[in-house]
Amino acid sequence: MTEDVDVDIAPFDLQDRLDEVRALARTAMTDAGQPGGILVAKYLDEVTELDGLLALGAHRGQRLVGMLVGWPTASREWWPHHVRPALTATHNEHWLDDAFELAELHVHPDVQRHGLASALLDEVRLRIDQPRIVLGTNALNNQRARQFYRGQGFRTLTGPFEWLGLDMRIFVLGLEFSGSSRG
């Protein structure tokens, strides 16, 4: 349930709405002062047919104002391959086993702080079979996102590490479901 924004949350076909998804991600990331919008544009085409892909949208009328995209870690080895060394260094590599990779979670700046991201996370918890969620988030100047995820029960699984040789450092965060919190 969102606080005071009337939206419908439902799955959508990522392939059909790639341009909208890219635009929303870039807008949200730019507003938050975060790099990475260009990375979203480059990889989303590659994941539209993954086994277990889940694309959830928060729609205000026909407008996509929030979205969550992810898949089981077993469906695509690319991200686990790149984060495994950092997880191994902190004895947390088991978090990649039977996990759901939360690749994108964005809310348009016009409707942020109204519970949309929380509602999208609540919905994904009801729709996935995996016992945990893992994600990567920028380590620098990203307190708002890290505070949000901490409030949702995520914990930090790695120290900051260089991402893909870019001038960017990330953390890996994880959320493990207890028996009663899965819905």
Residue 130 lies in a domain: yes
The pLDDT, as a whole number, for residue 17 is: 94
Residue 3 lies in a domain: no
Between the alpha carbon of residue 149 and those of residues 11, 23, 177, the distances in Å are 22, 23, 14
Below-50 pLDDT ranges, the chain: 1, 180-183
Residue 156 lies in a domain: yes
Residue 183 lies in a domain: no
Residue 39 lies in a domain: yes
Query: Which pTM was predicted?
Result: 0.89
The residue assigned the tokens 């890219």 is 22
Structural domain for 48, as ranges = 8-176
- Give strand ranges (E) for the chain: 8-11, 54-60, 63-72, 99-107, 132-138, 155-156, 161-162, 169-176
CB 64 within 8 A of CB 31: no
Residue 42 lies in a domain: yes
Residue 89 lies in a domain: yes
Between the alpha carbon of residue 77 and those of residues 36, 83, 145, 158, the distances in Å are 20, 10, 25, 19
For the chain, the domain total comes to: 1
The pLDDT, as a whole number, for residue 50 is: 93
Task: Report DSSP letters for 28-75, one per residue.
Answer: HHHHTT---HHHHHHHGGGGTT-TT-EEEEEEETTEEEEEEEEEEGGG
CB-based burial label for 1 (10 Å; 0-12, 13-18, 19+): exposed
pLDDT digits (tens, 9 = 90+) for 129-168: 999 999 998 767 778 888 999 999 999 999 887 777 667 7
Residue 1 lies in a domain: no
* 76: CATH: 3.40.630.30
